[in-house]
A and B are shown apart, each in its own frame.
Chain A
């Protein structure tokens, strides 16, 4: 089945210790998104890639970086995690950006910062 895969599902890191979350997709979609979602809150878009074009949201902290080495994979790097970065991180894909295409989500990675 075509899908969006995130690894790991649960990640524990220490305050200030860099961490990388990964996302892969078999849908061959052009667009990949990273969202941060805290408990009982709306998903917050951090950035998205349209193919190799990177688009950062204005209020995304510099602490968050992303890489997309190819169509299938996208990584979220948190350079110095703080306690406030503990959240569910959701990867999503869509065929195009700037349209009405549905976004398909991966299962998420729940990040705990100790």
Chain B
């Protein structure tokens, strides 16, 4: 079956760096998305990776290793507003999005 695994919850300190991991098992692979979702709101797009390596976008970076079925989202200089759930979603061979349950990130002052 198809599966996305990511930690349920993480805690970090304001100003610090945090890495949120995601592993995926899909039938075929056409890329991986990261979305941010604040409580009670809709997911918003953060990044899309289809090639191996690190993509940097301001304070947020996303990494992909296709051979390992692994991705991470790196958040630097954490701010209180970064408190949210971070959803990992992989595109399978039929271009269907397979979603993880999200990692709830709690930022402490």
Contact = CB atoms under 8 A, between A and B. Distances in A.
A102 B104 contact: no
Interface size class of chain A, counting residues whose CB lies under 8 Å from the partner chain: 20 to 34
Instruction: State the main secondary structure of chain B at its contact with A.
Output: loop
B97 A45 contact: yes
Given A99-B95, A100-B48, A41 B101 contact: yes
Interface in A38-58: 40-45
Contacts of A113: none
A104 interface: yes
Given A42-B4, A98-B95, A104 B41 contact: no
Contact of B43 (A90, A98, A99): A90
Interface of A: 40-45, 88, 90, 97-100, 102-108, 110
Interface of B: 4, 8, 30-31, 33, 40-45, 48, 50, 87, 91, 94-97, 99-102, 104
